[in-house]
Each structure stands twice: as C-alpha cells, then as structure tokens.
Structure 1
Amino acid sequence: MAAPIPFMLVETVNNLYRYFGFDDSGIGENAVFQEPRMSRQNPNKCDLCFPLIPLGGCDAQVPGVLLFPEHRNFKVKINVEKVKEELPVVSEGWVIPVVSCSTSSNTLCILLDHANAFQNTISQILSESLKPSRLPCFEKVIGVSEDASLNDSGGADLTQLRTRLAFKSLCNVFSSLGYKIKTEGSDTLEGTSTPKYHICYKSVCPEKGAEQSLVHCGAVLDVASGVKANDICARDYYRLKKLLFENVAQERDTIQGNSSHSEILAEAEVAAELLGVKLHDHVSVSLSSSSDNVGIARGATFFLYNHVRLSCIRKKFEQEVECGNYSKLPDVSEVDFGLLSQNEEWELLLLTLQFSYWLVNCVRSKGKISLHPILVGMDKLCRVFSVYYRRVRVLTEPRPHLLPVMYARLYLLQSLERILGVGLSIFNMKPLDYM
C-alpha cells in the first residue's frame, strides 16, 4: 500500500532555520536530518522546541544541531522579541504556518496551526496524484548490492537471513522516498557521484566495490547461550514462529489456528525481530518453543493488529454508507479539522508528520544505515492509537451535530492506515483482514 510521504515537517523546520538566518546552500549529501524536538506536554502552547543560548537582553543563539547534527558548532544569533512578533506573519505562506511563539526556560516554543496541519497532511497522504518526496541531498539514482552468497534459500542461517531481509527493506526505503534503485550492474555507476551501498554480514567483505559504503549486519545470537545461532536455519526458524502463533491462536480460540494467518504473523515477527536494532549490532533471539515469545501487544503482531483495527473502522463506515445509515464522506477540503481537539489526535498527526524523519534516519551515508527507526516510530504510532481507540468512539450516531467531528476523525484514521501500511510494506509485512 503506497502513500505519499509527508515531508511538510521537514519543510517547516527548514523554513524556520532559514528565517533564523541559517544558509543551508552549503549542505552536502552527507547531511543527516534529525527529528526535531516535539512537545506533547501542552499541545495548546508548544509543538516545536528550539533551545536558546541567552546572550543578554533580547538576543540569543539558536544552535543548528536540531536539523543537522554534524553542524554542531553552528549557531545563529536572533532577537527573541522580534522573532516572537514577526514569525507568525512571515510564516503565513508556509505549508504549516506558525500561530505563535513564546519562550520558557531558555527554550523557543513554536505553536503550529493545527487545523492547517491536519488539512494539508491528510490531503497529501490521501492524494493518489502526489509522488513520494526525495531527499534533497541525494542523487536520484541509488546503488544497492548484496553478497552473491545471499539468496532466498531457506537453508541460510539466521545471520544471512537478517542480511537478506535488510537488503530488501533498505531497497523499499529508498523506493518509498522516490529513488530509482540499481541493484545489479553496479560497475556502470563507478566514477559517478551516485551513493553506492553493499550489504554484507562480514566485517571485511571482498565483494564490496572500492566506491561502495559497506553496510555491515551483525550476527544473530541465541539468547540462551549468547553465541551465534548456527543450529537452526531460516526455514526452521520460520516454522518455529508459525507453530508458536498457531498454538497461541488455538489457546485463545481466536483465529482457530488459521495456517495462512500464522504464516503471515511469523514472517512479520521475524523481520521485526531481526531488524529491530541497529544493523551493525548483534541481535539476540529466543529459539525456545514457549508461546511466551509471541503476543499481540508486541512487535510486528502489534502493528498488524492495529492496522486491522484501522481498516475495520473504515470498512464498517463504508458498510453503513451502503445501508443508508451514513452519508458519504465529504471532500477533504470541506472537513473542519479544527474539531479535532483530543491530545491523542494531535499526537497521531505529529507522528504521521515524523514518518519522513524515520525514513531519512534509516539511510544515513557512509554505511551508517539502519532500519530500526521506522520500527520504533511505528511502535509509537500504534501505542498512541491503541489508547485513542479504547478511549474515543469514532463511529457515532448519525446525528447532524456529531457528523462533522466523525468525518474529521475518519480522515485522520484513513491517513494513519495508509502510513502504517507503508511501514508494513517496507518490511514486506502483509496486512491481515482480521485478527
């Protein structure tokens, strides 16, 4: 399930730094975007936090480390009172305008236009016509290769399986960002400025080209012994996970041991388990046959469970429309998103906006690549939504005064469903119809 990537938060933070006086024209392809500090304590007063270094009077310095960590020494001098007065006016033409600025404990607090942010973000995610955004610092073409010894054979060990899964998911990340990927014939890219990566489970890899950055995948260890898990192959590990899910399903009498569901859950759980830490680090897994090692409230199963919740809400609404109990959703441009006043609703939008940061943080240059930021972000999103799902009834009675807020919530949840679907597809996790 593809969806446009909302890079509006990146653009907004860039606009803020340009306004402060930071000239980013010299930023090269090695620049790393860092997720900005988001304030969730009081969403009515502050959304973005920028640390201030007081200089006396109204003057202060804003460090650039929030946007580009490697530019740690960059600081720009600002007049705080002038910024507080001017920024809301200057930002009126931005994709997400600033409503107000304030200061608290040597921090510049930026309050964004929530209704505008909801409207623009949801419209972009649900628009089929928009293309995924590209990282501005990278070339259009990306070269990614893997060891010839890696294949889809079930006889591979778990470390080789981890490397293979990392290769596939990394290609999906670049694809989601709109890049054209060259996985074969890397020699045609030699001598060009195109970023080139080679993924391998060996710290010294003879197949790596001279111009390629090595992405090293750490070994998979048996948590019980602490040594490399050589006693089980990929095929048998998938079988073990599938059996565990079938046993849990039979115990709970939920999916009645559905074999296809258990297989999907097993594949998703293995991907999240092996890619859930930094790639160059070792990862420990349990080879035990105990059902305690799987569950709905953890890992990929938790992602799939909440994706089912989201799709069920959408499908239930569509069924009610067909039965004549609800009218169709109005156009997104006609929805009043200012009615979304719950803290979880704004937090869900912030997490949706940060999805682009999770992707960007996966593809750091010079081999510093990992995939766990996406999994960590998906876990945050699912946990906030899970609280919201239990607390808020989205589908209400079809009374005229209740419909506007229901429409706004349905659009928000549809955008969440699509973003979560993109996250699942990056790790080749197949969505389920029910759980």
Structure 2
Amino acid sequence: GGNSARGLLVKKHSENLQTHGDFSFPNSVKSWHEHLKGNEYSSNGDVTLLHCIGKNLNDLIEESVRWNLRVKSVKEAAGRVYLFLDRPLAITVGLSEALRNIVLISQLLEAKNTSVITDPLCEQTNCLTSLRVKYLSNVIKNLCTIYGKSPEVLVSSRSSCKGSETRVFVCESVLNAKSGSKETAISSEDFIRIRQDEMTLIAQHKYGVRVTTDSKWKEFLTHLGESAVAFELLQGRPSSTVKINFNNVSAGSSKGASFILYNCARLETIIRTFNDKEPRKHLLPVIYARIHMLTILNDTLKLCLKILNIKSVSQM
C-alpha cells in the first residue's frame, strides 16, 4: 500500500521536460501525512514536506550522488518540487539497463512453460474468438516464464470453464463491428487472408506492382498479415471484447501494425547500412552514440514483439 501510494505521489514526466523536469512531487505535508512519523505537522498547512523532514532543495541534489539517477537541479513552484536529472548519466544508465534486460529476458524466454494451457475446445475450433484465446495463451506463457511464476492457468473463452486447482483466465469474444454480435462466419484463415490483402494494397500503393509478383514480397506480406491479426486481437484488455471491421481497410488495425513493423524494418536498414560501411573516423562520437541507442531500441522492440509471439521484420 505505502509503496504504491508513493508511486502515485511521485510523478514521472513524459513532456515539458525543460520546464517541469523528469520527476516531481507535492511539497505539502497533507499529501504525505500517511508516510510521516508523527502527526504534529498534519494540521499546519504552512509547513512544507521538506521543512518537515529537515531538508532543502540543495540537500536533494547532494543526496542523489548516491542514487543510480543523479539530480542535476531542483526547483519549487506551485507547491511542487521538480527534479531535473543529470541527463547524460540517465541515458547511460537507461541504455545499460536496457541491454541487461534484453539479454536476461531473451534467456528466460528460451525455457518451456507447461503450466499455461489453452482450452482444448478452443484448440479444436477455428473461429476468431478461439484464435484470440490461442494468441493470449502464448503471451501468458511467455510472461509467466519471464517472471518465474508458474501457476496452473487455463485460458478459455468460456466463463463456465472451471478447474479444481487451476486458475481460469477468461478471454472475451471477438465481435463483428457492423452487427455487434460474436463473429462466427469468418474463420481464422479467412481473417488472416483479409489482412494480408490489406497489407498487399498498402505495399502496392507505396512500392508499386512488383509486390504481387516478387516471391520474397509475397512471403513477407504473408507474415505481415499474420502479425496484423495478432496486433488486432491482442489490443485492449482480454476481459473486454474486440470489435473487428472487415469491410473498411482504414478502420482495421493493419495500418497500426504496418506502422510498427515498417518502422522496425527502417531501424534494421539504418543499422545494417551503418555497419556495412567502412568506419568513418571523421564522424562525431554523438553519431555513434545515436546508432548505439537505435540498436538498443530496435532490440527492445524485437523483444517486445517476441513476447507477443509476433515476428519482427528481420525474422520474416
């Protein structure tokens, strides 16, 4: 309880970093009264948190020398304290942690997980809801493998499905966006084919007619269509239904899936082009640093796709 409450009190910023810093927290005793020893300051609205604990803004900077992420500057405004991190150090720490996590999680994913089971009835049927169950089951297997937790889990679309010692994870249905009812007429193969055709149209518009005749393009678009389906069925909470629009290309998730996967391909191309060329000593170190960062971002993206059992472009 206490840790989660503190997590909510300390806000991590994703915008206005120049003016609001990287983190901020309220400097009022009232906001922190549950975490302070004694309540002698709780009734005095004029006393700030820092005054209560006997600290000032400069103390935060000095204390942060022992932290993994050091604070470069601090300011107080409108009752909040804003922390500005030592950005070069923060980037170094972040990239190092990313590299470590990529290696660790990749190794963990090599293990087999037998504690997560797909409802046999879903395995035997070919509807879109069953396909969603299968996708979700594979993702849960990966997550349980990563976190080292192996409870007996049965993934099903049937709320009536029960197990004596098994935890049942119910996945909601796939609906037809037009009718609002559960989609049963279109099979898994049909849906994948629809999305593959959409991907082909997008590629034709961007790259020309050769995508329909080149065998490598055909294979690539086949995998891309399958990935688009996985993105679409895994979006949103498993406890919520997914509505699929089969007749409107722009309303489908193919564009979203293609955006992610094409950017993955773009990163691969940039990195490969850089590595294939002769070292250029005249390039500033910052260029090498950016390529290093792009490589880590690309590896992180591919790892996330692997957890979702979606092939990255380099695997297609």
> What TM-score results when the alignment is normalised by the length of structure 2?
0.79
Judged with a 3 Å threshold, the aligned counterparts in structure 2 of structure 1 residues 105 and 132 are, in CA distance, closer, same or farther, namely farther
Task: Supply the distance in 1 between the matched residues of 2:265 and 2:307 (Cα, whole angstroms).
Answer: 17
Counterpart of 2:141 in structure 1: which amino acid? C
Counterpart of 1:131 in structure 2: which amino acid? L
Aligned length: 291
User: 1:179: which partner in 2?
Assistant: 147
- SS of alignment partner, residue 116 of structure 2: strand
User: 2:198: which partner in 1?
Assistant: 244
Task: Supply the distance in 2 between the matched residues of 1:143 and 1:49 (Cα, whole angstroms).
Answer: 42
Q: How much has 1:83 moved relative to structure 2? A: 5.0
- SS of alignment partner, residue 49 of structure 1: strand
Give the one of 163, 173, 182 matched to 1:219. Answer: 173
| 1:99 and 1:111 in contact (8 A); partners too | yes
Alignment of 1:16-415 (within 5 A): 36-43=11-18, 45-52=20-27, 54-55=28-29, 61-62=31-32, 74-76=34-36, 79-80=49-50, 82=55, 84-127=57-100, 131-132=104-105, 143-151=115-123, 155-175=125-145, 178-180=146-148, 182=150, 195-206=151-162, 208-210=163-165, 212=167, 214-254=168-208, 256-257=211-212, 258-288=217-247, 290-293=248-251, 298-321=255-278, 324=279, 326-327=280-281, 399=282, 402-415=283-296
Alignment of 1:413-428 (within 5 A): 413-428=294-309
| 1:268 and 1:300 in contact (8 A); partners too | yes
Judged with a 3 Å threshold, the aligned counterparts in structure 2 of structure 1 residues 129 and 423 are, in CA distance, closer, same or farther, namely closer
Structure 1 residue runs of 5 or longer lacking an equivalent are 1-21, 64-73, 134-140, 183-194, 328-398
Provide, for residues 8-66 of structure 1, a one-character-per-residue CA deviation record: whole Å limited to 9, x for no partner. xxxxxxxxxxxxxx975xx9xxx9x87953242133651012234x34xxxx5338xxx
Task: Supply the distance in 2 between the matched residues of 1:431 and 1:227 (Cα, whole angstroms).
Answer: 33
- SS of alignment partner, residue 243 of structure 2: strand
- SS of alignment partner, residue 43 of structure 1: helix
Task: Supply the distance in 1 between the matched residues of 2:315 and 2:144 (Cα, whole angstroms).
Answer: 30
Task: Supply the distance in 1 between the matched residues of 2:63 and 2:154 (Cα, whole angstroms).
Answer: 45
Structure with larger Rg: 2
Q: How much has 1:216 moved relative to structure 2? A: 1.8
| 1:248 and 1:291 in contact (8 A); partners too | no
Q: How much has 1:181 moved relative to structure 2? A: 5.9
Q: How much has 1:406 moved relative to structure 2? A: 0.6
Which is helix-richer, 1 or 2? 2
Q: How much has 1:228 moved relative to structure 2? A: 0.5
Task: Supply the distance in 1 between the matched residues of 2:242 and 2:259 (Cα, whole angstroms).
Answer: 20
Counterpart of 1:80 in structure 2: which amino acid? L
Task: Supply the distance in 1 between the matched residues of 2:60 and 2:228 (Cα, whole angstroms).
Answer: 46
Q: How much has 1:85 moved relative to structure 2? A: 2.8
User: 1:431: which partner in 2?
Assistant: 312
Output the aligned Cα RMSD: 3.4
User: 1:389: which partner in 2?
Assistant: none
- SS of alignment partner, residue 425 of structure 1: helix
| 2:199 and 2:258 in contact (8 A); partners too | no
Judged with a 3 Å threshold, the aligned counterparts in structure 2 of structure 1 residues 433 and 110 are, in CA distance, closer, same or farther, namely same
Tell me the percent identity. Answer: 25
Q: How much has 1:215 moved relative to structure 2? A: 2.2
| 2:32 and 2:49 in contact (8 A); partners too | no
| 1:222 and 1:229 in contact (8 A); partners too | yes
| 2:116 and 2:153 in contact (8 A); partners too | yes
Judged with a 3 Å threshold, the aligned counterparts in structure 2 of structure 1 residues 44 and 130 are, in CA distance, closer, same or farther, namely farther
Q: How much has 1:93 moved relative to structure 2? A: 2.3
Q: How much has 1:130 moved relative to structure 2? A: 5.3
Judged with a 3 Å threshold, the aligned counterparts in structure 2 of structure 1 residues 43 and 310 are, in CA distance, closer, same or farther, namely farther
Task: Supply the distance in 1 between the matched residues of 2:207 and 2:102 (Cα, whole angstroms).
Answer: 43
| 2:192 and 2:226 in contact (8 A); partners too | yes
Bigger shift: 233-242 or 223-232?
Answer: 233-242
Task: Supply the distance in 2 between the matched residues of 1:196 and 1:36 (Cα, whole angstroms).
Answer: 36
| 2:176 and 2:245 in contact (8 A); partners too | yes
> What TM-score results when the alignment is normalised by the length of structure 1?
0.59
